[in-house]
Structures are given as structure tokens and as C-alpha cells.
Amino acid sequence: MPRRYGPYGGAYVPETLVPALQELDRAWQSARRDPEFRRELDRLSRTLGGRPTPLYFARNLSRRAGGAEIWLKREDLLHGGAHKFNNALGQGLLARRMGKPRLIAETGAGQHGVATAMVGAALGLRTEVYMGEVDIERQRPNVERMRLLGAEVHPVRTGGRTLKDAINAALRDWIANVRTTHYLLGSAVGPHPFPSLVAEFQSVIGREIRRQSVRSFGRLPDLAVACVGGGSNAIGTFHPLIGTDVQFLGVEAGGVGGRSPGAASLSRGRPGILHGSFSYVLQDSDGQVAETESISAGLDYPGVGPEHAWLRDRGRAKYIAVRDRDALRAFHWLAEDEGILPALEPSHAIFAALGEARRRPRTEHIVVTLSGRGDKDLGVVTGAPR
């Protein structure tokens, strides 16, 4: 039975994909119980990926806020420059275990495509990546990185030519080539078992936060903050801390603000089915999936993972939207205060964290997952007004 998070989740897919999803679920259930698989995942996470990533006290950023301490979980220092490597490595090892010689992936900001290309090269798997034309233009450096790593990049020219359309193209490829191909889905979305296995591979973030927080300031943080597009870095942060008293704040893309929905599915969407899963989806008045807009390619998606929908409805996590211009302000704050260039995706979370820090006493601690570095966004940032 497909796993659900309350009413959310499931597997709403064509019959041709049901055997592939069942095969993936069996392989995942077997692998997670296999000590050899775990050892290989841990070994490559350390020696290829560079784990553990540090927990950094942003002293100057905290001084700017004038309240609670702000700490950064430095996923931007992971191999490839983003948290995407965690999931790509885990699924790459699963693909090899299933005897699938070909990987396909979708990407928006390009970081998942880069991570998949890196893993494909390291494991000897052929890699092809689907990317919307709009995202190819605004994330050109990552396109070149994927090609240098041996991946073939397919421009997607349908629909809004962004992440949603890249996922559609990848799914069509998987349906046609399911015997030889593993679809390495990049976020905690899609049909079961993708949301649960992506959350598990990304939960290394939250597990390290638990250990590092106790070592760094003697206890768990009061608040954990992460940006949310599909939701993989955020669920990786939140999931291992659900049974604690840590508060959660997920930060979506608010776009230009005003009447624009941006890409804030949890803040401005309603339940519906997208890419094989029941969750919150941005929809128009006729129930059709709405077009999104965001300065951040990685958050530019009209849906969200089902576990986030469940956390929202239960009141266990709070979700807000941050506008483009405020994310840009936070990018410059972190660059100038700490010497760190963040990706535009976690810049949304940085802005929200400063607002929270200003309202909280100096004795509290906020941990922000800095999910990626900003090299890929320099063209966007330098061309935007300050």
C-alpha cells in the first residue's frame, strides 16, 4: 500500500510505472536493512561528498539581527555545492543495486543535475538530465558543469519551460525506458516511495544538526529554518527532529509579491494531485496547475512534498513566503557579513531567520540549512537592482 502522510502522498501513476515503483520500493526496503549498502553510502558520503558538513555560528549576521543567535548548517560545502548530493548518491547506489545502467533526472537550479552527473560518473552510470529552457538560460554555469561531467542535458521547451515541465519530460522518458533506466527524482515529491526515500537520504542533515548543536551550544536549537520548493532540504532538516521540541519554519518563494502566487504551494495552494502525489498544489480557478514565478529556479515549482503538507496541517511546522527582493537582500547580507555567497534558494530562509532572530531573545538559537552556494546565481544577482 503506498505510504501516506495523513491524507497526502500515494502513487497516482500510469499502470506502466507501477512495476518500476514496486521494484524501487523493494530495492529500497532491502538496501536500508543491508549493512554493506549502509557502509558504502557512508564511505562515499565522507570520501566523495565531504560529510559531515559543519555547523557555523554566523556571529556578524546575528549581530545584524540583534536577537537570537543564528547558526548555519553548511550544506553549501558539500561536493557539488548543495544538499542534492545526499539524495543523488543514495539513489545512484540503488540504481546500481537494481542493475539499471542509465540515470535520468530533472533539474531546476541545476544543482540536482550536477549532483546526479557527479554520481553517475563515479558509479559508471550513463546520465541524462532534463531542464527547462528558462532555467538553462538563468543557470548556465550548472549546465556547463553537467556537460563537463559527462551528462547529456535535454532542453525542455513545453509549458512554462521550468522545473515542472522538466519533471514531466523525465517521467515520459522513464515510462518509455523503465527496464534500463532509474529516474533519480531530486526532491521529496512524486509517487511513493520517492518522498520517503528522499527524506531518508536527506535526513543526514538533521541527524548532524542534532549532534553538532549539542556540541556547539549544549542543546538542540529552538528553531530550524529551511527553504521549501519541493522540500528535500527542509524535510531532511525537519524529519529527524520531529520528536523533539524544536520549532520548524519552512520558507517558500513569494515571487514579486502582491497578487502573484510566486511558488508558495503551502501558503497559497490547495490540495490536489501533481506528478503522482496528493499534496498542496498551486491551482487556477479551474483547478489547473498554475504557472509559478520566482527569482530562484530551485524553488520555482507549483507543488510540495506530502510530508510537508502533513506537517502544515498538524501545526507541527509553519510555512511562510518570502519575496524575491527580500531574498536578494539576504544574499547581500550574508555575503557582506560572513563572506559566504548563498544560493538564492536558501537566501529566502536567511531573510526569514533574521526576522525570527530579531523577535527572539539572545539566549535562543536558530539553525538555518544553507542548502547551496551562490556561484550559479551570480548572473541573476549582479543584474538585479539592490
Annotated catalytic residues are 84, 106, 371
DSSP annotation string for 260-283: --TT-HHHH-EEEEETTEEEEE-B
Strand partners, 227: 251
Q: Output the CA–CA distances (angstroms, integers) from residue 55 to 71, 81, 185, 298, 317, in the order listed.
A: 7, 16, 27, 23, 22
Q: What is the four-CA torsion angle of 259, 264, 269, 274, rounded to 10 degrees?
A: 130
Q: Which grid coordinates belong to 321? A: 513566503
Calpha distance 107→185 (Å, rounded)? 9
DSSP annotation string for 301-367: -SB--HHHHHHHHHTSEEEEEE-HHHHHHHHHHHHHHHS--B-HHHHHHHHHHHHHHHHS-TT-EEE
- Pair type for strands 4-5 and 8-9: antiparallel
H helix count then E strand count, the chain: 16, 14
- DSSP, res 284: -
Calpha distance 108→41 (Å, rounded)? 25
C-alpha R_g of the chain = 19
Q: What is the four-CA torsion angle of 292, 293, 299, 304, rounded to 10 degrees?
A: -20
Calpha distance 343→166 (Å, rounded)? 21
